[in-house]
């Protein structure tokens, strides 16, 4: 079945809206299903991600030129058209309009093709004089301009001010690069970047983390050495959580919430392949990702076990030099990669600190005296981060924070929040806790 990039993007948007599917895995599935060329795959991904990142802004302009209720499929088509007109300058306006009209006809919305044509032409004709978003200088203005929930914008403004909030939101709406970590068990960072150079692939090396490489507009599977396991995908901030632990060869490590395995892989490399790593997750099917990843990378010191990190296991009492607890969280630090997260409501966060605290309390029993407990999340909300850690320390006098400095993070108080607009990484929180 021959499907265009725009049809694939539209199908993905429908799945995200109707089924609550993750955009990344959904667009990858559509690309594979329809065997899109690299060019069409890139366009489909850009359209899907761009619409999700800018849905509220697109709706603002659609609402200005169109009154009345729109069915969801028609709104998706209009959003794609508006996004192309406002953000993809390589696509001529006439092409964006005509393709949207063609989508209406192919998707069973032919009766609305005149409306789509009229709305998009008005926007195309007024791109230099579009209506002003009201309330400039307020949270509501930023919420529309960057298509984020107003409550989150307000939180960011309270945390760092208006300019800080706007920079964070702009970073969220910037297409995320691919960040990989070289598998130093198989190849040196210097040798791997030479392989990239030979393949004529542009890259940027981190100046604070050897073997961390950032690439724009690339898929991991198309890079040299993927099948051979010469690298794995992981953001610098997530790698920092492992690096902060100060792992040494021969140590025993528990990765309590391991899937999909990035921190276990980073730990194996920090251990130089000598030691023991137990990677756990509550769902056995998620552990398959850990095992397959370890096999590709050639790591043989990782064992897996299904475990609810909230439930005590006496056989693991004080058994580990380092315990890593990358707990379930709201994910507001990775909106750039998972734009649908921005649609979460505050109520969805309320029960998370209780779960996070239960995990932290339980896995703390598994740390040997003098050992380290790493607590991390991919969110920037203080109630899931600093407040959860401080409450844990108040309950558990055997632990204290431990200063660390690694991967661009300087944490004299043992806690560090990575911000996309400050650190150029995912939004991420790391706390290092030492058992006295």
Helix (H) or strand (E) holding 311: none
How many Å is the Cα radius of gyration of the chain? 23
CB of 113 within 8 A of CB of 101? yes
SS3 142: helix
Give 278: exposed, middle or buried? Use CB within 10 Å, 0-12, 13-18, 19+.
buried
**Cis before 212? omega within 30:** no
Of the residues 212, 257, 378, 407, which is catalytic? Answer: 378
The whole-angstrom separation of Cα 93 and Cα 121 is: 8
Q: Say if strands 302-306 and 212-215 run parallel, antiparallel, or are unpaired.
A: unpaired
Beta bridge partners of 254: 278, 323
DSSP state of 301: S
SS3 3: coil
DSSP state of 133: P
The reply to whether 378 belongs to the active site is: yes
Which residues have a catalytic role annotated?
378
């Amino acid at each position: 079945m021959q499907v265009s990039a725009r049809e694939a993007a539209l199908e993905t948007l429908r799945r995200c809206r109707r089924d609550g599917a993750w955009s990344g895995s959904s667009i990858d599935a559509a690309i594979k299903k329809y065997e899109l060329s690299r060019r069409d795959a890139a366009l489909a991904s850009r359209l899907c991600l761009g619409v999700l990142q800018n849905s509220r802004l697109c709706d603002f302009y659609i609402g200005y030129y169109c009154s009345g209720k729109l069915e969801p499929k028609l709104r998706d088509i209009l959003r794609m058209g508006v996004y192309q007109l406002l953000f993809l300058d390589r696509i001529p306006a006439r092409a964006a309009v005509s393709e949207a009209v063609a989508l209406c006809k192919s998707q069973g919305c032919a009766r609305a093709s005149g409306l789509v044509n009229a709305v998009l032409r008005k926007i195309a004709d007024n791109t230099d004089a579009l209506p002003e978003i009201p309330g400039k200088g307020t949270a509501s203005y930023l919420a529309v301009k960057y298509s984020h929930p107003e409550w989150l914008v307000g939180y960011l403004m309270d945390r760092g001010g208006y300019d800080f909030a706007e920079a964070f939101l702009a970073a969220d709406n910037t297409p995320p690069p691919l960040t990989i970590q070289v598998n130093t068990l198989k190849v040196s960072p210097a040798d791997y970047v030479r392989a990239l150079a030979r393949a004529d692939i542009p890259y940027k090396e981190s100046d604070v983390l050897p073997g961390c490489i950032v690439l724009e507009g690339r898929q991991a599977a198309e890079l040299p050495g993927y099948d051979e396991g010469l690298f794995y995908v992981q953001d610098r901030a997530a790698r920092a959580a492992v690096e902060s632990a100060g792992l040494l060869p021969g140590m025993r490590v528990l990765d309590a919430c391991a899937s999909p395995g990035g921190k276990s892989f980073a730990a194996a490399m920090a251990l130089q392949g000598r030691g023991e790593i137990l990677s756990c997750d509550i769902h056995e099917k998620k552990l398959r990702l850990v095992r397959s990843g370890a096999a590709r990378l050639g790591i043989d010191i990782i064992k897996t076990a299904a475990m609810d990190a909230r439930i005590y296991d006496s056989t693991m009492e004080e058994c580990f030099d380092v315990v890593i607890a990358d707990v379930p969280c709201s994910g507001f630090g990775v909106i750039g990669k998972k734009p649908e997260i921005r649609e979460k409501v505050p109520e969805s966060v309320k029960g998370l600190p209780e779960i996070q605290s239960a995990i932290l309390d339980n896995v703390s029993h598994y740390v040997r005296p003098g050992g380290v407990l790493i607590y991390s999340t991919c969110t920037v909300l203080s109630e899931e981060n600093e407040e959860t850690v401080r409450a844990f320390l108040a309950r558990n006098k055997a632990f204290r924070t431990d200063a660390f400095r690694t991967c661009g993070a300087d944490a004299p108080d043992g806690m560090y929040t990575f911000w996309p607009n400050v650190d150029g990484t995912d939004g991420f929180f790391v706390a290092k806790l030492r058992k006295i």
